[in-house]
Amino acid sequence: MAARRCASDLAANIVFFLLFSFVHTQSAAIFSPPDDHLIACGATSAAALPDGRSFLTDSSLPTTILRSHGRRISVSNPSSDADPLHRTARVFTCPSSYEFDIKSKGVHLIRLHFYPFQTPEFNLSSARFHVLASGITLLSDFFAPRPLLKEYFINLKEEKLVISFYPADRSSFAFVNAIEVVSAPNDLILYPARLVKADEVAKFDGLSEQAFETLYRVNVGGPKVTPFNDSLWRTWIPDGVFLKPSSASEIVSYSGRIKYQEYGASREVAPDHVYNTARVMNGAVLSGSNYSMTWEFPVTSGYKYLIRMHFCDIASLALNQLYFNVYINGYMAYEDFDLSDSTGFLASPHYVDFVLDVDITELLSICIRPSNQSSPLWIRGLLNGLEIMKMNNTMGNLDDESPVILFSANPLKRGLGAFVRSLTCGFAFVSLSAIAFMLFLRWRSEQRSHAAWSPLPVDVSDSTLKPGKLVNF
Ligand SMILES: *[C@@H]1O[C@H](CO)[C@@H](O)[C@H](O)[C@H]1NC(C)=O
Ligand SMILES: *[C@@H]1O[C@H](CO)[C@@H](O)[C@H](O)[C@H]1NC(C)=O
Ligand SMILES: *[C@@H]1O[C@H](CO)[C@@H](O)[C@H](O)[C@H]1NC(C)=O
Ligand SMILES: *[C@@H]1O[C@H](CO)[C@@H](O)[C@H](O)[C@H]1NC(C)=O
Ligand SMILES: *[C@@H]1O[C@H](CO)[C@@H](O)[C@H](O)[C@H]1NC(C)=O
């Protein structure tokens, strides 16, 4: 009897050992993306970042081809103590593109760095332009009045990625300081999301087929996390400015080891610095049960949003004591959410994806309230991190309701200067017209399919449907 008990103890120990050695090896693995293009545009030498990465110059890259149909100019920041990526930029006075070789198809992270500085010739904050990647409008009529970092996730299905820059009109120009094209970790987008509607929660499949723009990345209850401390070189900002003052919360932090597990969140999904701090509603210090934590984020209506909530129970004293309800824009998104059930451990990270269609409000409000399954003295709500991503609309775009329709007018009618300019932009006309034609066809077929299948456009309300923009070069 005793021997048998001993044997089963031993078996349990072996299971435990295996489990923990797995947890250990998983956390020790370093993410090395198959595609990893880091480019300092216009630079004459590689730019070394404090986070250890090195950005190569765009003129010396063998795998990257810069196609430009006219002047492309390298400009230098007059203030020499700027950050490495802010010292130079590439200015395009004609449509231009970067072409990247893609070794491994699938979801890629694309970051565009815009740092507007002034030189005697160019005032970068007065640039106005469009940016397309892989046929998706990322930015339409964009300008950068202040430093901006734009981040996207796009599923690439071809062996080339083309990122194109189009000046918004003849007198304008485009610019960019740095570009990152990096394979996303395989486990970044894995599971179906919860599609939150007024009266039900449905399943949302095919997340990895969508294009996303990151709008907010928040370390709830914790400090700013810089790319140095993030395995995917992300920046997480504190949640204070988004938290409604009426929220009843306290901050907790944890110095133990975060137990990353297979099928849970990995370190590439979010780093330890996100999971080891949280904001909680502590029943032991709050009276009654009518309290909540609410965060509010301004967004653009007319798009679906992916809301990724990161949880790691670093506050409860035991398993199966944490239950709470999640509301998004007032709709019940998850009732009686039980984190222990999903992880089986305390201090083990887990995330839940929600999708919500924002039609009129221009606001996303995320609210956590106690569940009536939890005891009044327990931790009654918790959140460690929050990411909000805009999803492409039915026309496949991330900016503007209608595709940018580009076409070339007859340059001869526009005087000699324009004619010469159009000659310098030369070949651009051909590709531009081709893109314009393709976009127009796509737009037409979208309009048709809307007309054929539904009297109301799915994504775009009639009032916001604008005619395509006309762009002359
Ligand atoms: C640069 O352009 C911005 C935006 O158009 C403008 O506000 C700013 O005054 C310009 N700076 C100079 C020195 O012209
Ligand atoms: C990285 O995290 C450590 C530990 O929290 C902190 O001391 C350090 O300042 C962080 N480094 C950067 C560059 O953010
Ligand atoms: C809970 O509080 C909100 C405002 O904080 C109030 O509108 C609501 O009526 C309260 N509910 C109950 C059941 O007390
Ligand atoms: C628990 O709360 C839900 C709404 O969140 C309500 O429908 C249900 O009746 C409550 N259950 C109890 C036992 O109070
Ligand atoms: C995003 O674009 C894809 C491909 O064009 C399309 O299948 C998908 O439905 C779009 N997403 C949304 C939310 O409309």
Tokens 């451990």 found at: 345
Structure confidence at residue 442 (pLDDT):
58
Residue 17 has pLDDT above 80, yes or no: no
Domains of the chain, residue spans: 36-184+401-446, 193-393+463-470
Structure confidence at residue 246 (pLDDT):
94
Closest by CA to 396, choosing from 213, 217, 149, is 213
Q: Tell me the pLDDT band of 23, cut-offs 50, 70 and 90.
A: very low
The per-residue pLDDT for range 120-129, each reduced to its tens digit, is: 999 999 999 9
Structure confidence at residue 16 (pLDDT):
41
* Ligand 4 pocket, mutate which of 372, 375, 380 (most atoms under 8 A from CB): 372
Q: How far is CA 128 from CA 66, 133, 166, 171, 318, in A?
A: 20, 17, 9, 9, 55
- 237-259 core/surface letters (b: 16 or more CB in 10 A; e: else): ebbeebbeeebbbeebebeeebb
Structure confidence at residue 132 (pLDDT):
95
Q: How many CB atoms lie within 10 A of CB 157?
A: 10
Is residue 125 within 8 A of residue 145, CB to CB? The reply is: yes
Q: Tell me how far apart the alpha carbons of residues 278 and 312 are, in angstroms, rounded to a whole number.
A: 8
Q: Tell me how far apart the alpha carbons of residues 437 and 444 are, in angstroms, rounded to a whole number.
A: 10
CA of 291 to the centre of ligand 3 (A): 8
Residue 346 has pLDDT above 50, yes or no: yes
Per the rule left: phi > 0, alpha: psi between -120 and 50, beta: everything else, 458 is alpha
Q: How far is CA 12 from CA 8, 9, 21, 342, in A?
A: 6, 5, 14, 21
What's the DSSP call for residue 286?
A: S
- Rg of the Cα trace of the chain? 25
- 193-393+463-470: CATH topology: Jelly Rolls (2.60.120)
Residue 454 has pLDDT above 50, yes or no: no
Closest by CA to 39, choosing from 105, 102, 110, is 110
The per-residue pLDDT for range 92-108, each reduced to its tens digit, is: 999 999 999 999 999 99
Strand 193-196 with 349-358, pairing: parallel
CA of 334 to the centre of ligand 4 (A): 13
Q: Is the CB of 372 under 6 A from ligand 4?
A: yes
CA of 222 to the centre of ligand 2 (A): 12
Residue 420 has pLDDT above 60, yes or no: no
Least confidently predicted of 138-147, 238-247, 257-266, 417-426: 417-426
Residue 325 has pLDDT above 70, yes or no: yes
What's the DSSP call for residue 158?
A: S
Max distance between CA atoms of the chain, in angstroms, equals 100
Q: Tell me how far apart the alpha carbons of residues 186 and 189 are, in angstroms, rounded to a whole number.
A: 7
The whole-chain average pLDDT of the chain stands at: 83
Q: Tell me how far apart the alpha carbons of residues 382 and 180 are, in angstroms, rounded to a whole number.
A: 34
In the structure encoding, which two tokens stand for residue 439, read together? 């976009």
Domains 36-184+401-446 and 193-393+463-470 fall in the same CATH topology: yes
* DSSP strands (E only) in 299-348: 303-312, 323-328, 331-338
Closest by CA to 112, choosing from 134, 75, 76, 139, is 139
Which residues lie below 8 Å from residue 443, measured CB to CB, with a gap of 6+?
395, 402, 403, 405, 468
Q: Per CATH, is 36-184+401-446 categorized as 3.40.930.10?
A: no
Q: Is the CB of 119 under 6 A from ligand 1?
A: no
**Residue whose CA is closest, atom 13 of ligand 2?**
228
Give the mean pLDDT of 344-356. Answer: 96
CA of 50 to the centre of ligand 2 (A): 12
* DSSP strands (E only) in 28-135: 36-40, 47-48, 54-57, 64-68, 72-76, 88-92, 96-101, 106-114, 129-133
Give the mean pLDDT of 404-430. Answer: 46
Strand 212-219 with 237-238, pairing: parallel
In the structure encoding, which two tokens stand for residue 211, read together? 């294009």
Terminal Cα-to-Cα distance of the chain (whole angstroms): 88
Q: Is the CB of 126 under 6 A from ligand 1?
A: yes
Which residues lie below 8 Å from residue 424, measured CB to CB, with a gap of 6+?
69, 70, 71, 94
Q: Tell me how far apart the alpha carbons of residues 421 and 434 are, in angstroms, rounded to a whole number.
A: 20
Q: Tell me how far apart the alpha carbons of residues 148 and 129 are, in angstroms, rounded to a whole number.
A: 14
- Ligand at minimal distance from the CA of 358 is 5
In the structure encoding, which two tokens stand for residue 231, read together? 């395995």
Q: Tell me the pLDDT band of 79, cut-offs 50, 70 and 90.
A: confident
Q: How many CB atoms lie within 10 A of CB 341?
A: 13
The per-residue pLDDT for range 44-78, each reduced to its tens digit, is: 999 999 999 999 999 877 666 888 766 778 898 88
Q: What percent of the chain has pLDDT over 70?
A: 77
Structure confidence at residue 275 (pLDDT):
97
Closest by CA to 280, choosing from 188, 377, 371, 383, is 383
- Ligand at minimal distance from the CA of 127 is 1
Looking from the CA of residue 303, the nearest atom of ligand 5 is: 13
Q: Is the CB of 336 under 6 A from ligand 4?
A: no
- Ligand at minimal distance from the CA of 273 is 2
